[in-house]
Structure 1
Amino acid sequence: MTLRDFLGYGESQLSASPHPDRAKRDAETLLLHLIGKNKAWLMAHASDDFAGCTAIRYAGLLERRRKGEPIQYITGETEFYGLPFRVTPDVLIPRPETEHLVEKVVRLIPALDRRPKKVFSIRKTHPAFRDGERTQREGDPDQISWPPRVLDVGTGSGCIAISIAHDWGEADITAVDSSASALEVARSNSEKLGFAECIRFLQGDLLAPVAEERFEIVVSNPPYVPTVDRDSLSVEVRDHEPALALFAGNDGLDIYSRLIPQAFAALVPGGFIALEIGYAQQPAIHSLLATAGFTDIQFAPDLQGIPRVAIARRP
């Protein structure tokens, strides 16, 4: 059988998968991943023989996808913010919606710069941490400093922290997660993409690992799916992605109710909190932010017009 024949076979197998509309694309993605070639090569060699162990492995990948395993876990990679990220079942698969959160944070950073503009410069890397220790800073820790200190809570694959570092190499970034396995994935991504020196990774519950520190920005894409919605999720999400990174109580607000007050205490005056939020959670998040003392509360929509990012300032 030729490569073209096996692509047709793959498409027919995946027509019975949870997403038959993506059968052709997924069959091609899995084949290209397996043979390590691009689409142009495949088009030029579609008549080549495809048999033996490689064909057997392809059939195995197709079966995993047919049963609903996310294609990102099968290939072990995905793209986020234009960067290639390693992903495993230990981390949530980065969504395009989360790119809106990164974009908002990147736009917030210049507003924190209170240096004379004549000395302003951007460097691609800024080793904020040396030998695992925070570099010493002069001045009041409760005043806005430069480079800005950014805390990514629940970092998962590290996609938010690394994307911010990609655009603002000066930022001192700390990434926290309760999962040791997730942190291993995040560290490997930071090393592969060249940002290991400017991101510090810590394990712990929410802001507990940085209880004595202050930051200019706290950013998070926390779990926000109500547990009562579990059965309505696709099989890919429900049965394969880590529940710890998805669910947050019956109303989806359990993590926000703990995170928001902790973030207020950790922010310097004038600092920002930026959160990804779930569908129809805007009123509840607004209330939690206002109750904690935040002001200038704003919400930004995704491409479907759904409020997706909450931003507020500590006065």
Structure 2
Amino acid sequence: MTEAEAADRLAAADIPDPRREARRLARAGSGRALAEMVTRRCAGEPMSHILGYRDFWHHRFEVTADVLDPRPETETLVATALEGAVERVLDLGTGSGCILLSLLAARPAARGTGTDLSSAALAVAARNAQALGVADRVTLHPSDWWDRVTGRFELIVSNPPYIAADDMADLQRELGFEPRIALTDGGDGLSAYRAITAGVAAHLAPSGRLLLEIGPTQGAAVCAMVQAAGLGQVQVLPDLDGRDRVVTGTQPPGAP
């Protein structure tokens, strides 16, 4: 198969920007290998799964079907985190590790902990930590939100599953290849925030920050939860497209 033939097949399958995608696939393989990749892409499989990586922030991360595909809008959370202190960091539901490891790579003195329910996801994060040269500064272990978390952190971040179950059927077909547990809570899309805010005060150091990625309609609800948890300076920050994307809150300096 040629690159031009690949582009024609992708276009016929209604894949956006088929010529660009054909170029990317042609750089990764030719002939039969290219044809197989094109077939997978035409079926809706994400490009990152086919190539095995996704570029995020300033790094390249391994991506498999066991982790959520890192997305550009999540870089808003990373950029916001780097505006303040990054010393001891906790990433709840770390997935590929793209958030946590990007922060550690940018702050050589920082140390981090990443948790996830999925052992397969933690294995991907561990390989990414090795690739970025930060494995000696990160601890990765399974946990259901706070179950196995100890200590306090100056920064707690999370991109939890926030898609409501009723909205799953309307999503792009590419999302069908990603782990459902990383996309939806199976309910109203807010249960992860309820769990996180229920325990955050006990694990956030005085003056420490909480940063949560949200869906574009969830700002008010998540802000109310963060405020109810006792955090101050609560606000919603937009992504580059102007959509609500990150809720932040700060532990009061005199918190016990």
Question: Quick one: which amino acid aligns to residue 24 of structure 2?
Answer: T
Query: Paired residue for 1:177, among 116, 120, 141?
Result: 116
Report how far residue 18 of structure 1 moved. Answer: 4.3
| Residue of structure 1 in register with 2:12 after alignment | 16
Question: Quick one: which amino acid aligns to residue 20 of structure 2?
Answer: R
Superposition pairs of residues 184-203 of structure 1, within 5 angstroms: 184-203=123-142
1:283-305: CA deviations, max 9, x gaps? 10111111111111011111121
Report how far residue 271 of structure 1 moved. Answer: 1.1
Question: Quick one: which amino acid aligns to residue 226 of structure 1?
Answer: A
Superposition pairs of residues 1-315 of structure 1, within 5 angstroms: 6-19=2-15, 21-34=16-29, 54-109=30-85, 148-210=87-149, 212-237=150-175, 239-315=176-252
Question: Quick one: which amino acid aligns to residue 283 of structure 1?
Answer: A
Aligned residues: 252
Distance across 2 between alignment mates of 1:183 and 1:273: 22
Whether the 8 Å contact between 1:150 and 1:215 is mirrored in structure 2 is yes
1:256-304: CA deviations, max 9, x gaps? 0001121221112211111111011011011111111111101111112
- Please provide the CA RMSD for this pair: 1.2
Secondary structure of the residue aligned to 1:209 is coil
Report how far residue 89 of structure 1 moved. Answer: 0.3
Whether the 8 Å contact between 2:28 and 2:34 is mirrored in structure 1 is no
Distance across 2 between alignment mates of 1:172 and 1:63: 42
Distance across 2 between alignment mates of 1:33 and 1:264: 47
Whether the 8 Å contact between 2:216 and 2:243 is mirrored in structure 1 is yes
Secondary structure of the residue aligned to 2:125 is helix
1:242-265: CA deviations, max 9, x gaps? 100000243210100001121221
Distance across 2 between alignment mates of 1:60 and 1:8: 15
Distance across 2 between alignment mates of 1:309 and 1:69: 28
Whether the 8 Å contact between 1:149 and 1:172 is mirrored in structure 2 is yes
**Stretches of structure 2 lacking an aligned partner (at least 5 in a row):** none
Question: Quick one: which amino acid aligns to residue 65 of structure 1?
Answer: R
TM-score normalised to the size of structure 2?
0.95
Report how far residue 16 of structure 1 moved. Answer: 2.4
Whether the 8 Å contact between 2:200 and 2:229 is mirrored in structure 1 is no
TM-score normalised to the size of structure 1?
0.78
Distance across 2 between alignment mates of 1:235 and 1:86: 21
Whether the 8 Å contact between 1:17 and 1:23 is mirrored in structure 2 is no
Distance across 2 between alignment mates of 1:16 and 1:89: 25
Distance across 2 between alignment mates of 1:194 and 1:100: 23
Question: Larger C-alpha radius of gyration, 1 or 2?
Answer: 1
Whether the 8 Å contact between 1:92 and 1:245 is mirrored in structure 2 is yes
Distance across 2 between alignment mates of 1:159 and 1:92: 10
